[in-house]
């Protein structure tokens, strides 16, 4: 094995260091496998209940009326997430689009949106109008308020209570920390928050941005009272096979409104050809629980590899996980670049390119990104990125297989060692 790794660029010293770390992770890996087993059965049960069959994989074109593959897939998602309804299709272009549809379909002029978990993910700032943008919710007369988290990353219960007013209509909760330094919330914590806001104002609707959280736990936010649970198919639930798409699982009422907003009033879920993508969307969902397990193992391995070398890692090497993202604070631009070169060098695609920091739209610093993915931008595939600024943290996520994630992490460390930035 050591010589196989050596042929791919991992030195015996780095390989041995990795094996030492791994020896201490057996129990955690077993717990991840148990969650994956539960979720695998959940997905299979939903497919069986809805009588998935070869006819579901046929391509449709044009309007896509009576598209059995699409309609059945939506029922399968609704059953996996234990919701009344679901909207899952390639016409939802990405996670931001799914979230924008869910928000704009369920907020009307004069309504207010509340985030009780501080600032939302970067791309939502323009959707909401926190940063000015054409067609933002703000432009349509929807106001926004947020209650920041407490200094230790907890919910500010009194601040949240005070932020809820007669205009508050919808509450948005982001499960994953995304690229922020706050903690990711467990489904249990999200459930407590949902119960709280609904006790302050009955009838409030709650949307959870579930990006990067799917199948990390045996329960989803939809099991904890969310009216809409939303995410991207080129992250966890697409299992690496979905080439595009997003999902919204929720109540009949909320999802119907989303469908009218996505297509057109009166048309709703009745139109939307599947364009031949059904095999990938079904098979990707089928594989998603084990793919997520591999990504989680990679994240935990990375945390422990870098923590023992003295780097700050978020989450730390031993705490529970609620999403697949791992932040590693490397402390210098050189170390970030070396880390990303290692991830890139481990890729099955584009392994020969050297990623460089560049001024990406929407960021106030240069950003470096490493990814060699089969699906462009897919972050359930092994990838790492981060803005070149204090605290020089890279965000690492994905890996369609644990074995690939392991190679990526070992190569990232190898590049740091070669540059004299770490010592094993």
Does residue number 104 form part of the binding site for ligand PLP (CB under 6 A)?
A: no
Measure the CA–CA gap between 72 and 93, rounded to whole angstroms: 20
Candidate list 117, 142, 211, 338; residue touching ligand PLP; CB under 6 A: 211
Question: How buried is 342 (Cβ within 10 angstroms: 0-12 exposed, 13-18 middle, 19+ buried)?
Answer: buried
Least Å distance between CB 123 and ligand PLP?
5
Minimum Å distance from CB 125 to ligand PLP? 11
Q: Which is nearer to ligand PLP, 10 or 170 (CB)?
A: 170
Candidates 176, 189, 222, 344; binder of ligand PLP (CB under 6 A) is 176
Closer by beta carbon to ligand PLP, 96 or else 412: 96
Q: Distance between CA 329 and CA 374 in Å, rounded?
A: 28
φ/ψ region of 188 (left if φ > 0, alpha if ψ in -120 to 50, else beta) reads alpha
Q: How far is the CB of 371 from ligand PLP (least distance, A)?
A: 13
Work out which of 174, 269, 326, 412 binds ligand PLP, going by CB under 6 A: 174
Q: Give alpha helix (H) positions in 81-152.
A: 95-106, 122-128
Between CA 352 and CA 407 the distance in angstroms is 15
Rounded CA separation 7/5 (Å): 5
Shortest spacing between CB 167 and ligand PLP, in angstroms: 24
Instruction: Please give the Cα distance from 253 to 274 (Å, whole number).
Output: 23
Comparing C-alpha atoms, which of 220, 223, 229 is closest to residue 250? 229
Tell me which stretch binds ligand PLP (CB under 6 A): 77-85, 173-181, 249-257, 349-357: 173-181
Output the smallest distance, CB 61 to ligand PLP, in A.
25
What is the DSSP pairing of strand 143-146 with strand 326-329?
Answer: unpaired
Total number of residues that touch ligand PLP (CB under 6 A) = 12
Contact stretch for ligand PLP (CB under 6 A) within 65-73, 94-102, 146-154, 385-393? 94-102
Q: How far is the CB of 369 from ligand PLP (least distance, A)?
A: 12
Span near ligand PLP by CB under 6 A; candidates 61-69, 165-173, 209-217, 299-307: 209-217
Pairing relation of β-strands 228-232 and 205-209?
A: parallel
DSSP tag of 185: P
95 binds ligand PLP (CB under 6 A): yes
Q: Is residue 247 involved in binding ligand PLP (CB under 6 A)?
A: no
Which residue has its beta carbon closest to ligand PLP?
95
CB half-sphere exposure, 276, CA atoms < 13 A: 0
The one among 77, 144, 185, 212 contacting ligand PLP by CB under 6 A: 212
Smaller CB distance to ligand PLP: residue 77 or 121? Answer: 121
Binding mask 109-128 toward ligand PLP (x if CB under 6 A, else -) reads ------------x-x-----
Specify the residue for token string 């209940």.
49
Q: Which is nearer to ligand PLP, 117 or 142 (CB)?
A: 117
Alpha helices (H) along 50-94:
68-80
Please give the distance of CA 62 from its chain centroid, rounded to a whole number: 31
DSSP state of 86: E
Residue of 18, 90, 129, 178 that binds ligand PLP (CB under 6 A) = 178
Q: How far apart are CA 14 and CA 384, in angstroms?
A: 20
Residue that is written with structure tokens 């806001």 in the block: 197
Instruction: Pick the closer one to ligand PLP by CB: 17 or 121.
Output: 121
Taking the CB of residue 203, how many other CB atoms lie within 10 A of it?
Answer: 6
Q: Does residue 385 contact residue 337 with C-beta atoms inside 8 Å? A: no
Q: Which is nearer to ligand PLP, 93 or 418 (CB)?
A: 93
CB of 274 to ligand PLP, least distance (A): 20
Where in 185-204 is the site for ligand PLP (CB under 6 A)? none
- Shorter beta-carbon distance to ligand PLP: residue 238 or 272: 238
DSSP string covering 7-61, please? HTT--HHHHHHHHHHHHTTHHHHHHHHHHHHHHHHHHHHHHHHTT--GGGG----
Shortest Cβ 63–ligand PLP spacing (Å): 26
Binding span for ligand PLP by CB under 6 A among 91-99, 133-141, 158-166, 388-396: 91-99
Q: Residue 236 is encoded by which pair of tokens?
A: 């966890």
Supply φ then ψ for residue 125, to 5 degrees.
-60, -35
Contacting positions for ligand PLP (CB under 6 A)? 94-96, 121, 123, 174, 176, 178, 209, 211-212, 232
């Amino acid at each position: 094995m050591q010589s196989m790794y050596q042929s791919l660029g991992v030195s015996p010293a780095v390989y041995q260091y990795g094996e030492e770390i791994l020896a201490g992770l057996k129990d955690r890996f077993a717990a991840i496998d148990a969650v994956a087993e539960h979720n695998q059965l959940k997905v299979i049960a939903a497919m069986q209940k809805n009588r998935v069959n070869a006819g579901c994989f046929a391509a449709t074109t044009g309007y896509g009326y009576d598209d059995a593959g699409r309609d059945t897939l939506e029922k399968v998602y609704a059953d996996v997430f234990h919701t009344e309804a679901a909207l899952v299709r390639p016409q939802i272009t990405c996670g931001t689009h799914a979230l924008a549809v869910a928000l704009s379909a369920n907020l009307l002029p004069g309504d207010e949106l509340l985030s009780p978990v501080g600032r939302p993910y970067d791309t939502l700032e323009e959707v909401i109008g926190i940063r000015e943008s054409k067609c933002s919710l703000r432009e349509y007369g929807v106001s926004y308020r947020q209650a920041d988290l407490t200094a230790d990353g907890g919910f500010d219960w009194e601040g949240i209570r005070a932020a809820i007013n007669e205009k508050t209509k919808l509450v948005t909760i982001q499960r994953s920390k995304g690229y922020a330094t706050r903690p990711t919330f467990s489904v249990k914590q999200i459930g407590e928050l949902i119960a709280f806001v609904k006790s302050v104002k009955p009838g409030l609707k709650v949307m959870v941005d579930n990006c990067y959280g799917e199948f990390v736990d045996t329960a989803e936010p939809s099991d904890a009272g969310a009216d809409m649970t939303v995410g991207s198919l080129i992250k966890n639930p697409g299992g690496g096979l979905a080439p595009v798409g997003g999902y919204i699982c929720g109540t009949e009422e909320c999802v119907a409104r989303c469908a009218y907003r996505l297509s057109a009033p009166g048309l709703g879920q009745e139109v939307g050809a599947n364009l031949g993508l059904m095999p990938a969307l079904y098979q990707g969902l089928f594989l998603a629980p084990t793919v997520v397990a591999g990504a989680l193992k990679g994240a935990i391995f990375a945390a422990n590899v870098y923590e023992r070398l003295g780097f700050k890692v978020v989450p730390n090497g031993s705490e529970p996980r609620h999403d697949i993202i791992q932040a590693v604070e490397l402390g210098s631009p050189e170390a970030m670049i070396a880390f990303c070169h290692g991830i890139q060098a481990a890729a099955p695609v584009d392994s020969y390119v050297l990623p460089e920091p560049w001024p990406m739209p929407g960021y106030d610093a240069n950003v470096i990104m490493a990814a060699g993915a089969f699906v462009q931008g897919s972050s359930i595939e092994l990838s790492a990125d981060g803005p070149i600024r204090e605290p020089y943290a890279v965000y690492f996520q994905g890996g369609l297989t644990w074995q690939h994630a392991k190679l990526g992490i070992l190569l990232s460390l190898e590049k740091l060692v070669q540059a004299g930035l770490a010592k094993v």
